[in-house]
A and B are shown apart, each in its own frame.
Chain A
Amino acid sequence: EPEVTQTPSHQVTQMGQEVILRCVPISNHLYFYWYRQILGQKVEFLVSFYNNEISEKSEIFDDQFSVERPDGSNFTLKIRSTKLEDSAMYFCASQRWTSGISTDTQYFGPGTRLTVL
């Protein structure tokens, strides 16, 4: 069964450094998402991406964040200058999207645990 994959599984970085989190969505899916989950808290939406552009973003997704689909398979989240509070589990998700109405499951990857020191 196709699945969303993410690399790395764990990333440790120093405050102020740039990190790139990578995701390979399910191949016939059209909508891509990033979410994050701070330890012990709920999962929060960051950004959605469709047709090579951001379709919606949350207040969390400020100028330090960017997303890109550099080729036909990868979907990346870049944090330009990491802060301590960026430490969290970051989940990528993809969705097939049917007829302009969201009736399809979002499938999540296993996550990347980001630790900012």
Chain B
Amino acid sequence: SQQGEEDPQALSIQEGENATMNCSYKTSINNLQWYRQNSGRGLVHLILIRSNEREKHSGRLRVTLDTSKKSSSLLITASRAADTASYFCATDFQGAQKLVFGQGTRLTINP
């Protein structure tokens, strides 16, 4: 399978804490993208990291990519109740013209 796999499947933390989600994949990629999905809604693009990049920041988001371990992590700092959502990594594999999504991490921020 070429899937990205996230862990944990579910994460519940207190507001203000940091949340870390991990993603692993199996074959070489062009890039890896993280998306957020509020319950029953659309996919909101958060950040794209290319295969030759190791770390990217966007506001309270920090994404790392380790191509040797075929893994990525998404860190949300100083979490807020509005961050409650499902987070998906999606990999863009070399030679393919599609994104392959993982099962997602369901993040709950408790006030």
Interface residues of chain B: helix, strand, loop or mixed (majority) = strand
Quote the shortest CB–CB distance from B90 to chain A (angstroms): 8
B31 touches A102 (CB 8 A): yes
| Partner-binding segment picked from B17-25, B35-43, B62-70, B72-80 | B35-43
Q: How many residues of B contact A (CB 8 A)?
A: 25
B30 cross-chain contacts in A, Cβ below 8 A: 101-103
Query: Given A42-B88, A42-B102, A43-B88, are A105 and B45 also a contact pair (CB < 8 Å)?
Result: yes
**Given A105-B33, A106-B33: A111 in contact with B97 (beta carbons within 8 A):** no
Residue B101 at the chain A interface, CB threshold 8 Å: yes
Residue in chain B with minimal CB distance to A109:
B42
Query: What are the residues of chain A within 8 A of B60 when measuring CB–CB?
Result: none
- Residues 66 to 93 of chain A near chain B (Cβ within 8 Å): 89, 91, 93
In the complex with contacts A42-B103, A43-B101, A108-B31 CB distance below 8 A: no
Interface presence of A44 (CB below 8 A): yes
Known: A108-B35, A111-B41. A55 touches B97 (CB 8 A): yes
From A33, A89, A93, A105, give the contact of B48 (CB < 8 A).
A105
Whether A91 pairs with B43 at a CB distance below 8 angstroms is yes
The smallest C-beta distance from A12 to any residue of chain B, in angstroms, reads 15
B42 and A102: CB pair below 8 A? no
Inside 8 A of A31's CB, which chain B residues have their CB? 97
A89 to chain B, nearest CB (A): 8
Which 5 residue pairs spanning A and B have beta carbons closest together?
A: A110-B42, A108-B43, A45-B98, A43-B101, A48-B97
Residues of A within 8 A of B (CB): 31, 33, 35, 41-45, 48, 50, 55-56, 58, 89, 91, 93, 101-111, 113
Q: Footprint of A on B, CB under 8 Å?
A: 3, 30-31, 33, 35, 40-45, 48, 50, 88, 90, 92, 96-104
Q: Knowing that A35-B99, A105-B45 are A-B contacts, what are 20 other residue pairs whose CB atoms are under 8 Å apart, sorted by A's residue number? A: A35-B101, A41-B103, A42-B3, A43-B43, A43-B88, A43-B90, A43-B99, A43-B101, A55-B97, A56-B98, A89-B40, A102-B92, A103-B31, A105-B33, A106-B45, A108-B35, A108-B42, A108-B43, A110-B41, A111-B42
